[in-house]
């Protein structure tokens, strides 16, 4: 999973953390910045594509599972997670994980997403633990 090396302009009032989300230090930086529970986690992350749709789906969906695990640590009790996933063989694993850890869970496909694309988004709200 590569990191986009493009320069990101600073935006007043916005904290941009560049790095690999699977790297523990990136998660720690986010936790340190917020210093308390988070209301919303919005993830549009996807792994670099390899051309193998099954592999690409597995990699991107693993990022989604990591976001859901991270959310259990940092999200407010009634917080929201929205994350990109790809329809694939591990879709049910994501659904099971979300249902176990959140009070509400559903999926949506934004109008901006190409119809033939396998991408959809999961919306979870309210930690169940």
Q: What are the pLDDT digits (tens) for 15-55?
A: 788 888 888 999 899 888 888 788 999 988 888 878 887 88
Higher-pLDDT residue of 8 and 37 is 37
Largest distance between two CA atoms of the chain: 41
Which is it for strands 75-86 and 102-108: parallel, antiparallel or unpaired?
unpaired
Position 1 confidence tier, pLDDT thresholds 50, 70, 90: very low
Report which of 95, 104, 44, 108 is spatially closest to residue 77, judged by C-alpha positions.
Answer: 104
| Residues paired with 122 in a beta bridge | 83, 107
Q: Which two tokens stand for residue 12?
A: 């007043």
Active site amino acids: 84
pLDDT over 70 (residue 90): yes
The helix (run of H) or strand (run of E) holding residue 100 is: helix 91-101
**Beta-carbon count within 10 A of 108 CB:** 11
Q: What is the pLDDT of residues 52-87, one digit of tens each?
A: 878 878 888 889 999 999 999 899 999 999 999 988
């Amino acid at each position: 999973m590569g990191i986009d090396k493009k320069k990101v302009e600073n935006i007043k009032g916005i904290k941009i953390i560049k790095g690999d989300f699977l790297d523990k230090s990136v998660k720690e930086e986010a936790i340190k910045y917020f210093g308390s529970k988070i209301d919303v986690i919005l993830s549009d992350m996807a792994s670099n594509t390899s051309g193998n749709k099954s592999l690409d789906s597995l990699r991107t969906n693993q990022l989604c599972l990591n976001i859901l695990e991270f959310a259990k640590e940092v999200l407010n009790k009634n917080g929201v997670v929205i994350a990109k996933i790809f329809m694939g063989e591990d879709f049910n694993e994501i659904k099971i994980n979300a249902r176990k850890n959140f009070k509400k869970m559903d999926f949506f496909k934004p109008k901006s997403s190409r119809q033939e694309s396998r991408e959809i988004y999961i919306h979870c709200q309210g930690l169940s633990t």
